[in-house]
A and B are shown apart, each in its own frame.
Chain A
C-alpha cells in the first residue's frame, strides 16, 4: 500500500502548485515594502530596507476605503439577488426533460454573450435617463443582469446532480414545489450555491468597464476604478499600486476564508438531512 507515499506526493505537488499560484502575489507583497528607489534593483529579491511608505500613501488615500465599501455593498446585493432569481429559474430547468431544458438554457445564455463593450453605450443612455449615474443601483442592475445567465447555468448543473428520490418523497408528503426548492433542494445543494455565490461575487468585484463609465465620484466608485486611479498622468507608482493591491484583496480573501466553513457545514447538513 503506497498510501503514505502517495499522500506525500500529493502534499508536495500541492505545495509546489500553491507556490506557483502565489508567486505573483507574493512578489506584489514584497514590492509593496520596497522603497521607491529600490523598486527595480534586482537582486536582491528581498527588500534591503523595509519601508511602509507605500502603505502610508495608500491608506491616506481617502477614496480607497470608500471604494471598498461601495464594492462590497454593490457586489453583495447584486450577488444575493442573482442567487435568488437564479435559483428560482434553475429549479424547473433542472427537472425538465432534456430537450426543453437545452432550449431554455441556450436562450438565457445567448442573451448574455455579447461583449460588454458593445453594451456600454446603450446601457449608459438608460442609466442617465433614469438619473442613476453615480449611484449603487447603476451598477447593481447591470451586474444582476450580466451574472444571471451564469448563475442559472451553474445552479441548474448543481441541482441536476441531486437525486430525485428525496424530491419525490417530499412531494408525496404534500410539500409545495416552492417548499421543495427552499427547504430541501437548496440546502442539499449548498456547496453549489456557495460556490456560485462566490463566483458571481468575484465576477462583479472585478468588473471594470461599466464601473468606470457609470461612476463619477467616491459615492459609487468601485475598487477596480479606484485602483486604476493610482497612476498619474505620466507615472505609474508601482510600489503604491502593489500596496493598494494587497489592501484591496483582503475583503475577498476574508470572504473566501469564511466561505469555506459554510461549504463544509452545508455538506454536513445535507448528509444528515438526507438520512
Chain B
C-alpha cells in the first residue's frame, strides 16, 4: 500500500464521539459558571472574567487528565479502546479550551487597562528564583505552547511528514505539559484558595494518572517472560476475528483468532506504527484500525500487489492453552496454526 498522505476519514462514530465531547465540555463550563455565579454573584466585568478563567482552566486540566488516563485504561481493558481511537480530537479540543483560558487572562488585564507586554511579563519578573511565588503565567504559557505544538501536528499529514518515530517522541511532550500544568495550579490557585478540595482534586488527578500508568506497566510486566513460551489462554479466550495483546521483552504481540486459525503478529503496523492488535479481521485479512492496512494472518504479508510485511511469532497449543514463542520470526514468515 502507498505510504502517501491520506486525508482523515470521517465516519459516524467520530462524529458521535466529537458531539459527546463538545456536549460534555459545554456542560462542564456551563455548570461551573452557573454554580460559581450563583454562589458569589459577580459584581463587575473583571469578576465575570475571573470566573471564566477558572471555568475554562478547570475544564482544560480535567480534559488533559482524562487524555492521559485513556492510554493505560485501554491497555487494562479493551472497553476503553473507543476513547483511544479519537484521542487526537480530544487533544485538539483541550488545547482550544486552554486557549480560551489564556485569552481570558489577557482579557482580564485588558479590561482594567493593566496590559503589559508579553516579553517583559515573562522575562522581567524577579520571582523566578522563588518556589512559592514562581511566575505561574510562565508555567501556563509553557504548557499552552506544548499543547499548541501537539494540536498543530496532530493531523495524519504530520505523522507521515515527521515519521512515526519523531511524531511519537514529540507527542510524548504531553507528559511534560501535564507536569508543568500541575505546578501551574499548585503554585497558583492552590496558594491563593485554601479550600481543601483544591489540593485533593489536583493531587488526586495526578495520583490517578500515575497509578493507572503503574498498573498498566505492571500488568505488561507480569505477562512478559523473556525466553520462554508465553501463555495466552484457551483459544476461546481470544475473541473471534479479534486479538489479544501480550508483551514479550518490551514488544507487544497481537495474537489473532480467525475461526480455527490462530496467528501472532507484531502489534506495530508497517504503515504508521498503528496498533494492529486493536484492529480486527475483515474479509479474511488482519486490518489495522488506523488506516485499514491489511495483512494475512498466516504470514503477516500484505496481499499483492502491496509489499508490507509484519514480523510473525510461532504459535502452539499446550494443554489446551495457546502459547507463543516471544522470539520474532523474520517478517513474512508463515507461522499461524489451525486448531
The answer to whether A and B assemble together is no
Point out residues on B near A: beta carbons under 8 Å: none
A interface residue numbers (CB < 8 A to B): none
